[in-house]
């Protein structure tokens, strides 16, 4: 079994090396066509010297160079070997045999390898930039979703404060804790979600469905007696195509009397555009079918989907640091994945203060000078107060700037510097072999 596992890993690495995912599957066919096409063009235009060995410029090497710039070192090297093999074959078939032009092919091969290394280096930079932008887009989407949720909840607060003593914020916080605690299901805490939606969006009969491997939709929870959801339901197809909530009054549905047994079908869509499931509503009050209520429904589903996506990483982090905030744990897991997969660095900065009024005042002031992306976490370690600041996409220069702003603030507002506060900022780079262990050591430090 061990040999089989090692052999499987070897084959997987060999497959990645020979056919990277970022390239199309016709890469090697393209390598052969371009290289042999260059040889054929050389034979057609200059039959006596198709490789331009005696010419002013070796034009035939443009083919391997182009391949190396497009795909990297390995395809460029294979293209160069094909040129050498083509020369050997033509020399073998010719009546007059020539000596092998070592300098011609050695120089061309070195040029191709340099171009391949250039392509690989810039490919890595491009992938890192794409992942950074993807992370920022997701972060912006989550922040926009939460701000919209905050605005909608404030609009309803005045009219609901007497009848619903539990605020929407408390309900969503409880739902998030449930998604972290229930990790065995693809849609954990789906029934509490339905109950929350029933309370705030006035649902009467609805169900949550997930797609099975066979393509059917299987319900995970329900309120009332909702019918089954068909895979070819027009509302469902429209919702999945546009990745947004769909209802019976939208345009583009089939022109029949009742295209769907449901009033509303909404995808449970996370910020990364991954559809986790579908909410189908077949009964709700007529007055609840308004734009504001449906918008609230979509926002709450998006919030729940993000909580589900983050639940595994949050659960692992909270096992080690039970007092951590969910937002901090989720962002830490996300950034650690970016660091290990794409070498996009982030940092943690921890500061320790005395557990007194002056220490609490200093921490409150420091939370106001953080960057917009930073996530602070205030906690205790022994008899000290800790401020742990998570700095996404931050290099050493960003950390230096943050610490300089802290020192300036302490001098201007508190009248003391680092030495007088007895502060020793601790930096933890997520590029370390085990940043979690470094953070655990910080919490294990005892101060006199």
Mean pLDDT (whole number) for 384-410: 87
> What pLDDT, on the 0 to 100 scale, is given for residue 137?
81
Q: Are residues 112 and 195 in the same domain?
A: no
Q: Are residues 300 and 188 in the same domain?
A: yes
Which residues lie below 8 Å from residue 23, measured CB to CB, with a gap of 6+? 71
Q: What CATH number should be reported for the domain holding residue 200?
A: 3.30.450.40
Mean pLDDT (whole number) for 33-44: 90
- Rounded to two decimals, what is the model's pTM? 0.68
Which residues lie below 8 Å from residue 249, measured CB to CB, with a gap of 6+? none
Q: Give tens-digit pLDDT for 272-296.
A: 888 999 999 999 988 888 888 888 8
Owner of token pair 């019918």: 227
Mean pLDDT (whole number) for 317-326: 89
Which of 310, 337, 360 corresponds to the end of one domain?
Answer: 310
Residue 221, classed as helix, strand or coil, is strand
Secondary structure letter of residue 94 according to DSSP = S
**Contact between residue 27 and residue 71 where contact means Cβ atoms under 8 Å apart:** yes
Range of the domain at 435: 345-444
Q: Does residue 137 belong to any structural domain of this protein? A: no
Take residue 86 and report the two structure tokens written for it: 């083509």
HSE-up of 200 (CA within 13 Å, CB side)? 31
Q: How many domains does the chain have?
A: 3
Mean pLDDT (whole number) for 113-127: 90
Quick one: pLDDT band at residue 25, thresholds 50, 70, 90? low
Q: How far apart are CA 390 and CA 370, in angstroms?
A: 10
Q: Are residues 105 and 42 in the same domain?
A: yes
Tell me the helices (H) and strands (E) count for the chain, helix number first: 14, 9
Count Cβ atoms within 10 A of the Cβ of residue 409 and give its class: 0-12 exposed, 13-18 middle, 19 or more buried. middle
7 has pLDDT over 90: no
């Amino acid at each position: 079994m061990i040999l089989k596992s090692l052999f499987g890993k070897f084959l997987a690495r060999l497959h990645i090396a020979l056919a990277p995912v970022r390239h199309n599957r016709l890469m090697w066919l393209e390598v052969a066509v371009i290289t042999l096409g260059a040889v054929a063009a050389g034979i057609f235009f200059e039959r006596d010297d198709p490789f331009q060995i005696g010419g002013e410029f070796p034009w035939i090497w443009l083919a391997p160079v182009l391949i190396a710039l497009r795909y990297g070192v390995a395809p460029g090297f294979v293209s160069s070997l094909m040129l050498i093999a083509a020369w050997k074959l033509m020399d073998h078939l010719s009546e007059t045999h020539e000596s092998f032009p070592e300098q011609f092919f050695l120089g061309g091969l070195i040029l191709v390898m340099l171009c391949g290394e250039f392509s690989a280096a810039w490919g890595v930079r491009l992938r890192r930039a794409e992942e950074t932008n993807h992370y920022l887009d997701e972060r912006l989407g989550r922040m926009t979703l939460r701000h919209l949720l905050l605005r909608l909840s404030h609009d309803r607060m005045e009219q609901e404060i007497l009848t619903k003593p539990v605020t929407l914020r408390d309900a969503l916080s409880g739902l998030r804790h449930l998604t972290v605690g229930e990790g065995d299901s693809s849609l954990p805490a789906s029934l509490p979600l339905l109950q929350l939606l029933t309370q705030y969006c006035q649902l009467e009969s609805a169900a949550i469905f997930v797609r099975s491997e066979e393509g059917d939709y299987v319900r995970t929870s329900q309120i009332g007696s909702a019918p089954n959801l068909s895979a070819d339901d027009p509302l469902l197809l429209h919702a999945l195509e546009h990745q947004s909530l769909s209802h019976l009054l939208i345009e583009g549905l089939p022109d029949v009397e009742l295209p769907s047994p449901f009033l509303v079908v909404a995808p449970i869509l996370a910020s990364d555009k991954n559809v986790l499931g579908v909410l189908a509503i077949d009964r709700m009050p007529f007055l609840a079918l308004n734009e504001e209520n449906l918008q609230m429904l979509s926002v709450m589903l998006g919030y729940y989907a993000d909580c589900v996506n983050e639940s595994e990483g949050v659960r692992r982090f909270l096992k080690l640091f039970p007092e951590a905030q969910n937002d901090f744990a989720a962002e830490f897991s996300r950034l650690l994945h970016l660091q290990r997969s794409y070498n996009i660095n982030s940092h943690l900065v921890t500061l320790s203060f005395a557990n007194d009024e002056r220490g609490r005042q200093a921490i409150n002031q420091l939370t106001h000078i953080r960057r917009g992306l930073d996530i602070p976490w205030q906690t205790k370690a022994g008899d000290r107060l800790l401020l742990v600041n998570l700095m996404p996409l931050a290099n050493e220069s960003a950390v230096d700037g943050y610490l300089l702003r802290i020192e300036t603030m302490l001098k201007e507002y508190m009248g003391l510097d680092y030495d007088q506060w007895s502060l020793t900022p601790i930096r933890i780079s997520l590029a370390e072999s085990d940043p979690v262990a470094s953070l655990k050591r910080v919490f294990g430090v005892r101060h006199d």
